[in-house]
Structure 1
Amino acid sequence: MTAPDPAVVPAVDPAEFARTMAHVPTPVTIVTTVDAEGRRWGFTASSFSSLSLDPPLILVCPARTASCHDAFVSTDRFLVNVLAADQEELAKSFARSGTDKFAGTPMVPCEAGLPGLPGATARLLCSLYDVLDGGDHSILVGRVESVTAGEAEPMVYYNRHFTRPGNHPALTPA
């Protein structure tokens, strides 16, 4: 299959694309790592997905403009914390730039000593498998080394709001 000729494909308005994608519910995660100097890094990501079962791979996409970007594209390992429905303030805190994101948080050393969240819906310890170009983001492909599943209801990002599946009619099973 060949790619369509860019001259023939109509341009998608970026604002309309963003409005449309807001209607796709996504899990909310905080991704963490520690660099060679021992500094902790983290960011909130709703661009997270499973990619492969064999080998077990996930992807997460940090913005190229994020202050933590270089730490993540050069790390050996990172930890994906899938947030529980009651962890909205943490999601907001790790989405901000220019602050100490770890100050006052319940983050503790977890898998491989990386910052993790007790009470998270799940945690996935990943080794960096590949880094791909994703436009204004990088695509980190992580090989899953271990998983921890909790019991908490997950948080999702839908229509530009943090919510839980049971609180939104569009996300409630029929």
Structure 2
Amino acid sequence: MNESDFRQAISQFASGVTVVTAWAGGRSFGMTLSAMTSLSLEPPALLICVNRKVPTEQAITASGVFAVNVLADYQERLARKFAKPADDKFDGVDVEYTRHGVPLVRGALGHFECTVRERMSGGSHSIFIGHVDAARVYDRRPLVYHGAGFGDFNGRVRSAIPVPDHVPPPTGVGAFFSS
């Protein structure tokens, strides 16, 4: 199978959209990522797959910590911003920081703060298993990626969903978990 056929086929798998962030060498790193999944409840763990050529992978490897920011349905602009190479992807992005200095994107649907427990090679990517040290969820709707485009959980195309210029305040914080 060639790469083009694989890309076309895998694009039919709908997924949530995340921005994975890290802190290393005195600066913040981040990238849009859909290759994230829950791995274990006991202990709480998740798995992310990150291309070894991107600076965020190198930052996670160096620091041993990362965060997964699950984007809300109105955060398509952030998904696009973090999907492109740039010197300072965080310029103009509202963030708070974990105790390890890892940026968390405000207004997200949820956050997972993780410590790397294992790193493996998987083709062109590094597979990180992260122990979830803390997780927060908010009462928001998810941004969904399908068929090389963004939408919402009801399958509406992005242009049909209003995108606010500001981050609405959290409503009904669902939960805060810490292990």
Poorly superposed stretches of 4+, deviation over 4 Å: none
Give 1:94's aligned residue: 82
Structure 1 residues 99-150: Cα deviation after superposition (integer angstroms, max 9, x where no partner) = 3100011122246442112221110010011111111111111011111001
Measure how far apart 1:13 and its partner are: 2.7
Q: What is the aligned-residue identity percentage?
A: 33
String of CA shifts for 1:35-78, please: whole Å, max 9, x gaps. 1x321111110111111111111011111111222111222211
Q: How many residues align?
A: 157
Q: How does 1:64-79 map to 2 (within 5 A)?
A: 64-79=52-67
Task: Could you tell me which runs of 5 or more consecutive residues in structure 1 were left unpaired when the two chains were aligned.
Answer: 1-11, 170-174
Instruction: Give secondary structure in 2 for the equivalent of 1:40.
Output: strand
Q: For the residues of structure 1 that align with 2:21 and 2:87, how far apart are their CA atoms?
A: 15
1:83 pairs with one of 71, 74, 84: 71
Instruction: Show the counterpart of 1:14.
Output: 3
Corresponding position: 1:23 with 2:2: no
CA distance in 1, matches of 2:153, 2:141: 8
Say if 1:29 and 1:81, in contact at 8 Å, map to a contact too: yes
**Bigger radius of gyration among the two:** 1
SS in 2 for 1:16: helix
TM-score of the aligned structures, taking structure 1 as reference length = 0.84
| 1:57 match | 45
CA distance in 1, matches of 2:87, 2:26: 17
CA RMSD for the aligned pairs? 1.6
For 1:91, what is the secondary structure of its paired residue?
Answer: helix
Q: What TM-score do you get using the length of structure 2 for normalisation?
A: 0.82
Does residue 103 in structure 1 map to residue 97 in structure 2? no
Query: What is the rounded CA distance, in whole Å, between the counterparts of 2:35 and 2:99 in structure 1?
Result: 22
Corresponding residue number in structure 2 for 1:164: 152
Which blocks of at least 5 consecutive residues in structure 2 are unaligned?
158-179
Contact 1:58–1:143 at 8 Å: present in 2 too? yes
Kept in 2: contact 1:111–1:125 (CA 8 A): no
**Residues 92, 111 of structure 1: CA spacing in aligned structure 2 closer, same or farther, 3 A cutoff?**
farther
Matched residues in 2 for 1:21 and 1:131: separation?
24
Q: Match for residue 7 of structure 1?
A: none
- Equivalent residues in 2 for 1:26-37, closer than 5 Å: 26-35=15-24, 37=25
Q: Report deviation, 1:167.
A: 3.3
Distance verdict in 2 for CA 1:168–1:29, change over 3 Å: same
- Partner of 2:154: helix, strand, or coil? helix
